[in-house]
Amino acid sequence: MQKQAGQKAAPDSAPDWLPGLLAGERAALARAITAVENETDEAAAVLQGIRSRLGHALVVGFTGAPGAGKSTLVSAYVAELRRRDLSVGVVAVDPSSPLTGGAILGDRIRMGQHAGDPGVFIRSLASRGHLGGLSRTAARVIDVFDASGRDVVVVETVGTGQSEVEIAEIADVRVVVNAPGLGDDVQAIKAGILEIADILVVNKSDLPFAERSARQLAAMSAQRGHGPVPVLQTSATAGKGVPELADAIAAVGKRKRPDPRARTRRLLQNLVLDRLRRGLAELPPAEVDALADAVLSGRSDIDSALLSLTELLVSRLPQQK
């Protein structure tokens, strides 16, 4: 039964299409995603209704440098999963910005080859809110895909900013995609993101320097605190190396396993940081300036000023009721 717009659902009344969602029906899946994305009246009941059904899907995050051909590689990986008869959900995450309409459209076009396949469900998220809102929505859509019985959920994040790293962190298996030799700076941009990678990919392996880039990445990853990771070469447009990538992801997935608790833990951590970040930005400028002045005049050292600023921030956070 369709509810009228604006009519408030009783908190515990599950929508009549919830069984369809749990049975993997596509139409119910679409409604559930829309509900959690737009936080409609039905969202809470959906999230309640799927709780006991989490932990089937392996969540695979793809992130990496711009121009690396990430979307094309995701599309080729999805095709490989379909050949293995696995069902797939894709969450394409766009930075919380109205500026990137073009990128979303681009994703949809590149994913076009899967348009007629019921085994693939793609949703682009274009949150206009803050980073925390986007992380939360992405996590909820992942859970909905999981409960609907999808075998693999792919999270593709565009770009390599903090927001993308945080969302990719929610995944069980994280793949970082690189293009060969864009210049010296490439090393640097990878340094931050390298820490979260389970698998490193040099895509566009038909370009010059692919071999060298792969060697550099392997050397860099060997220096990490927590040990080296596999470095693979792919050419998404030619389909080269994609089965090997799928094998490598499955191997890491066997070790790390689908883990809704770890996903939730990382989501909570990201949301707390986001709240603190916003809280800091919203502090009264005069009070922060007073602390800066104390440091500049020598009345306070920087460590005391840090403690004072932290206390000011904490005093203004919402309290537990």
**Would you state the structure tokens that stand for residue 206, as one six-digit string?**
């038909």
Per residue in 157-167, is it b (16+ CB within 10 Å) or e — as a string? bbbbeebbbbb
Cross-sheet strand order for the sheet of 199-202:
120-125, 88-93, 152-157, 58-64, 173-178, 199-202, 231-233
Measured from the CB atom, the residue of 89 and 260 that comes closer to a copy of itself is 260
Q: Distance between CA 56 and CA 258 in Å, rounded?
A: 7
Residue type, 261: R
Tokens of 8: 């408030």
Give 34 or 187: the residue with its C-beta nearer to a copy of itself: 187
CB proximity list for 77: less than 8 A, separation 6 or greater: 62, 154, 242, 245, 246, 249
Least distance in Å: CB of 4 to a copy of itself? 26
Q: With respect to a copy of itself, which residue has the nearer C-beta, 96 or 233?
A: 96
In the complex, least distance from residue 29 CB atom to a copy of itself, rounded to whole angstroms:
21
For residue 90, list its beta bridge partners: 122, 154
Give the nearest distance from C-beta 51 to a copy of itself in angstroms.
5
Residue 67 CB, nearest approach to a copy of itself (Å): 4
- Select 126 or 250, whichever has its Cβ closest to a copy of itself: 126
Question: Which CB, 251 or 312, lies closer to a copy of itself?
Answer: 312
* DSSP string for 182-237: --THHHHHHHHHHTT-SEEEE--TTSTTHHHHHHHHHHHHHTSTT----EEE-BTT
Nearer CB in complex with a copy of itself: 83/310: 310
Least CB distance from residue 295 to a copy of itself, whole Å?
Answer: 5
Longest CA span, the chain:
69
**Minimum gap (Å) between residue 113 Cβ and a copy of itself:** 17
Kindly tell me which of 186 and 199 has the beta carbon lying closer to a copy of itself.
186
Residue 181 dihedral angles phi and psi, to the nearest 5°:
30, 70
Please enumerate in sequence order all residues whose Cβ is within 8 A of that of 13, keeping only pairs 6 or more positions apart, or say none: 45
Least Å distance between CB 27 and a copy of itself?
26
